[in-house]
Amino acid sequence: MTQPELHQLDEQGYVVLERFMPDEFLQALRRRIEELYQQEGENAGSEFRQEPHARRLANLVDKGEVFQQLIATPRVLELVGHVLGLRFKLSSLNARSADPHSAEAQPLHCDAGALPDENGYCVCNTIWLLDDFTPENGSTRIVPGTHKSGRFPQDVLGDPFAPHGDEIVVLAPAGSVVVMNTHAWHGGTANHTDTPRRVIHSFYCRWDKPQQQYQKRLLRPETQAALSPELRCLLALDDPMNDELCARTTSMSGFMK
C-alpha cells in the first residue's frame, strides 16, 4: 500500500488500482465469465440474485481456479484489511454485466444494508473491471466521504436514484480494480452504449459478520477438498477462532509470501 492510496481510502472511501490485472489474467476472467453466462442461461445468478437489465453470476469460487486466485490477491487483501482490520473473510463473489441500452440505474446504497458499529467498518467491496468504465456505460458512482456519515442514503435523500451533487463516477480502463469501503453511498449507473459493461465483485466482511453467501453450504465438497488451508480460512470453511493458521491468513500474512 502507498500512503496516497491509504489516504484516499480513509478520506474518500475508495481507491482505484489502474491497469492492475495482467492482460493474461484479464482475458482468462473474461473467457470464463462468458462461458458461464452461456452455460447457465436464464438461471445465471440464481444462487444469489437476478436483476432486470443486467446479467448476473454468483458462487464463482465454485466455478474456476481463476476466481480463487482473484479473491486471494495479496495487494487487494492488504487494502481490504486496512478497511476491515486484521480479521475478515470473503462474503460473496459475483459478476454483474449491465445490459446495453439499459435505462435502469441503481439507487445510492450501502452494501449489505450495513452501517459501521462500535468495532468500526464491516464491509468492503472490490470491483474488478472486465471492461472500461466510461461516463456512458454504467460505471459505478460514489459519494466520497459518506462512509463516515453513519447514515443510510435512503434516510437522508429524497430520491436515492437521483444524481447527488457530490457524487463522482469512477472512470478507469479495463483491468483496473476499485477497492471501496461500501459503507460509502454508491450505485451503478445506466449503460447507454451498444455493449455490456462487465465487472466482478469480490465482497469481504469483518470476521464477526455473516457472509452474504454462506460459502460452506454453496461450495461443492470436491471444491472444498481441493482448496489450500489459506483459502479455506479466507472462505470461513473451518472454525478458525482459535486457529493460528486462520489468524495468520485472515490478517493477510498468509498471502503475503
For 24, the grid coordinates are 493474461
pLDDT in tens, 199-227: 999 999 999 999 999 999 999 999 999 99
Buried b (16+ CB within 10 A) or exposed e, 198-230: bbbbbbbbbbebebbbebeebbeeebbeebeeb
Q: Is residue 246 part of a domain?
A: yes
In a domain, 110, yes or no: yes
Domain membership of residue 57 (yes or no) is yes
In terms of pTM, does the model score above 0.85?
yes
User: What is the tally of structural domains in the chain?
Assistant: 1
Alpha-carbon torsion 3, 134, 65, 222, what sign?
positive
Mean pLDDT over all residues of the chain? 91
Complete DSSP assignment for 65-134: HHHHHHHT-HHHHHHHHHHH-S-EEEEEEEEEEEPTTB---PPPB-GGG---BTTB--EEEEEEESS-B-
- pLDDT tier, 52 (very low <50, low <70, confident <90, very high otherwise): confident
pLDDT of residue 79: 96
Is the pLDDT at 252 greater than 90? The verdict is: no
Is 55 within a domain? yes
DSSP label at 160? T
Higher pLDDT, 245 or 89: 89
Q: How confident is the model at residue 1 (pLDDT cuts 50, 70, 90)?
A: confident
pLDDT at 239 over 80: no
Give the CA diameter of the chain: 52
Q: Which domain holds residue 61?
A: 3-251
In a domain, 96, yes or no: yes
Backbone angles phi, psi at 220, to 5 degrees: -60, 150
pLDDT score, position 255: 53
Residue 257 counted as domain residue: no
Q: Is residue 189 part of a domain?
A: yes
Mean pLDDT in residue range 118-131: 97
pLDDT category, 242, cuts 50, 70, 90? Answer: very low
> Is 256 contained in some domain?
no
| Average pLDDT, integer, range 143-172 | 96
**Dihedral, CA atoms, 189, 193, 194, 197, nearest 10 degrees?**
-40
The region of weakest confidence among 43-47, 48-52, 239-243 is 239-243
pLDDT in the model for residue 105: 82
pLDDT of residue 224: 95
Cα–Cα dist 110/186, whole Å: 7
Q: Specify the CATH number for the domain of residue 42.
A: 2.60.120.620
DSSP helix/strand/coil, 172: strand
Rounded to an integer, the average pLDDT of 83-112 is 91
First to last CA, the chain: 15
Distance between CA atoms of residues 74 and 64, nearest Å: 19
